[in-house]
Structure 1
């Protein structure tokens, strides 16, 4: 049996707990699975029959992050079997819950087509009319596909409707962030559900908490972000993101939704931004979920290991020529580390800025890009196609501790070290706004 470690991101909102069986019947079964409950990894082993048991209480989606990202849907009493060669190849499902999960495979194909047709570089050049025409086409494709299936689950279609609407809303919000004005002509031509992502928004949708990757909570954060921007001004004495935390607590009436939103939003703030103490204190004061408080407290305390002025954890990573490099290879200059992946749209959006940064400061600093949570083949293809002139490294399992100590659970992530390898910032600004910090140090 091929031994793999898979990272499963599983978000659970528990009341009454039921044992859920999932059986792997692959030619190359994984041996160990790591799944994440509320951002914390838990390791579980398959038994000799390829079976694992989850404790779940409600219908929920979770994602398996292998070379191909997959979403699986579970309900209490499902008896699901995964068939195929390996989780990195084509798979299918049998048993109770198979219809729902085979549908998700077909949905993934539409998402892949959407990603190709509306990638970041295409979006920059699309007219508003062309964009909304295409996004409406894909919205129709999603719902046509959904309606082609007769599901066993009573709630699955409702959850998938929410998921599709949030997927479309996410794309529209991304586009509108760059093309801000929506003309009267566009508003008259396209459905309001397309042009206004927040149309009929439900701030207390407990069902949507079952969706993968805190998708609903992330959508709420964008809504509150817009609301706060209308009245927030510098000099009020409060931090902007702290205002979002506070505003949400006053506008979400359902305690379960509020706790989940505060947890997801505050986790991102503490993980990636300065003023961690401000966000931590605000979260502790507003949240009523004791388990969430324990997890956020653990995250907050973990940053003391990689705080400013401390020696950075080391790594041993491979470059695109097969050489093994460590941080010792980069001592003597400031080192700007960029952790990224080929599938990550914000990472690709930052690529031109990285090129500009290298042209301007490449002789004065080390710029080190690290491919992480990615396929090495896709990473190699990208390097070969674009030929970046700064150092390119790829993740090796023996250096997992480096990423764990910096609590790297998503990309992009930026780290800035001084010439001795000491930490300047464990969550540095992106290339578009790092220049001020560099000028202060050079």
Structure 2
């Protein structure tokens, strides 16, 4: 549900550097939220102002709730944006504009249904509540669970009828209760991009619910040519962000430029840079780069990052990406695997350098980890399935008494080289940025990382998928 905090799927949830906006916000305007909460369930109320477009993160402002249930919150507001009023476990999304003075009356026992507004900002927020009740809580207007099963013609008819109903509702509601032009643009974006996103993802959603992929008519995706990617007023709307990411993902996967499997994020980045403008461009470049920092091919990520630094990007997004790059970019596809020299179960030392020239399947595990033990039981069969691939299997046991480890290692299948790391703060654990156990890496003969997320030995398709990765690597490297 795009108008609610709970619906955020992708994310920009780590934007934590909003302090750059605070001083200018006080100078440019404020918003006041006051009112009364009946049957209060907490002694305070919180206003989350989502300063970063479409990110649902921002600045928090709280105020006490009196014994009579009364409260007042004042917050700086530089421009129109969404916010959330939170009381205990209850919340309501608001649309706020500089100068709003909103009186809120609500019963905590029935938060959304009982809420009433007065003062400046009433019409916009009444509309949000009514729109949600009509279109976001009524199953007949939802793609899931039923409408997704419709064939193409019927599905498109459903989307178009929903869009026309929403447009009619907007026209009728705002005629009786006028709203600002900025708010109209926000709602228009909700209507337009909900339609576009549901149409764009029709095939993928059908696959996820188990339906056979539909046979699409010629020109099904031609509607994308009519979508205004830089639509005025859309920047604060979650439906817009969802569509943009899916749109560039779709274009990257269907592009014939480069190798989509490896060049996925650079292709998306180049497309977003070309097709978007202003804040929308900054927002999407930051999001794509953020995903590439986590999951992409490191040399390409480095190149994109250097290019991003040269852009005249909003300082908020620039600071966020720089912070992520510094904290997260340690190991990844294409980066050099950190070297190590560790004690082996046979009493000697084994280094990664000594294994150079071989593909290495490297696993980190702990005996206190249930899934790790499942993998240990499956390891013999896993090794047998990969025997023809000429891979060196290496296991690093972390944080166990060395004597106990030696005893267990002697009993374990010796198809893998058994190594020992004393504790979670050991250098090899930190260098590989191991946060979860088990963790598995596939390392190329030249020491670069093929993947940081290789399949587990205990996974039903583990050996097959690792073998496929090895074959793919050797095919590419032989060119």
TM-score, length basis structure 2: 0.55
Check the 8 A contact 1:17/1:56 in 2, yes or no: yes
- The 3 A distance-change label for structure 1 pair 272 and 103 is farther
Q: Does 1:261 align with 2:295?
A: no
- The 3 A distance-change label for structure 1 pair 250 and 133 is closer
Distance in 1, Cα, partners of 2:190 & 2:271: 25
Distance in 2, Cα, partners of 1:42 & 1:424: 39
Aligned to 1:73: 95
Q: Does 1:204 align with 2:225?
A: no
- The 3 A distance-change label for structure 1 pair 138 and 438 is same
- The 3 A distance-change label for structure 1 pair 199 and 32 is same
- Post-superposition CA distance 1:267-321 (Å, at most 9, x none): 3444565646565445334452232111122233333799999xxxxxxxxxxxx
- Post-superposition CA distance 1:396-417 (Å, at most 9, x none): xxxxxxxxxxxxxxxxxxx983
Aligned to 2:182: 155
Check the 8 A contact 1:217/1:265 in 2, yes or no: no
- The 3 A distance-change label for structure 1 pair 108 and 183 is same
Deviation at 1:63, TM superposition (A): 4.8
Aligned to 1:288: 313
- The 3 A distance-change label for structure 1 pair 159 and 291 is closer
Distance in 2, Cα, partners of 1:115 & 1:283: 43
Distance in 2, Cα, partners of 1:104 & 1:434: 47
Give the secondary-structure state (helix, strand or coil) at the position aligned to 2:33.
Answer: strand
Q: Does 1:46 align with 2:63?
A: yes
Give the secondary-structure state (helix, strand or coil) at the position aligned to 2:163.
Answer: helix
Distance in 2, Cα, partners of 1:131 & 1:282: 42
Distance in 1, Cα, partners of 2:154 & 2:131: 23
Deviation at 1:364, TM superposition (A): 6.2
Deviation at 1:330, TM superposition (A): 6.0
Distance in 1, Cα, partners of 2:367 & 2:83: 39
Aligned to 1:406: none
Check the 8 A contact 2:37/2:105 in 1, yes or no: yes
Provide the aligned C-alpha RMSD in A: 4.8
Aligned to 1:393: none
Deviation at 1:19, TM superposition (A): 1.1
- Post-superposition CA distance 1:76-129 (Å, at most 9, x none): 111112221239722232221112111111111211224775215x35532122
Within a 5 Å distance, the mapping from 1:150-229 to structure 2 comes to 150-177=177-204, 178=206, 179=213, 181-183=215-217, 197-211=223-237, 213=238, 215-229=239-253
Q: Does 1:119 align with 2:136?
A: no
- The 3 A distance-change label for structure 1 pair 118 and 205 is closer
Check the 8 A contact 2:189/2:231 in 1, yes or no: no
Aligned to 2:421: none
Aligned to 2:124: 100
- The 3 A distance-change label for structure 1 pair 285 and 103 is same
Within a 5 Å distance, the mapping from 1:395-414 to structure 2 comes to none
- Which structure has the larger Rg over C-alpha atoms? 2
Give the secondary-structure state (helix, strand or coil) at the position aligned to 1:52.
Answer: strand
TM-score, length basis structure 1: 0.59
- The 3 A distance-change label for structure 1 pair 199 and 243 is closer
Within a 5 Å distance, the mapping from 1:230-249 to structure 2 comes to 230-235=254-259, 239-249=263-273
Q: How many residue pairs end up in the alignment? A: 331
Task: Give structure 2 stretches of 5+ with no counterpart.
Answer: 1-5, 207-212, 339-364, 380-433, 443-450, 468-479
Give the secondary-structure state (helix, strand or coil) at the position aligned to 1:209.
Answer: coil
Task: Give structure 1 stretches of 5+ with no counterpart.
Answer: 1-5, 188-194, 310-326, 337-360, 366-414
- The 3 A distance-change label for structure 1 pair 296 and 236 is closer
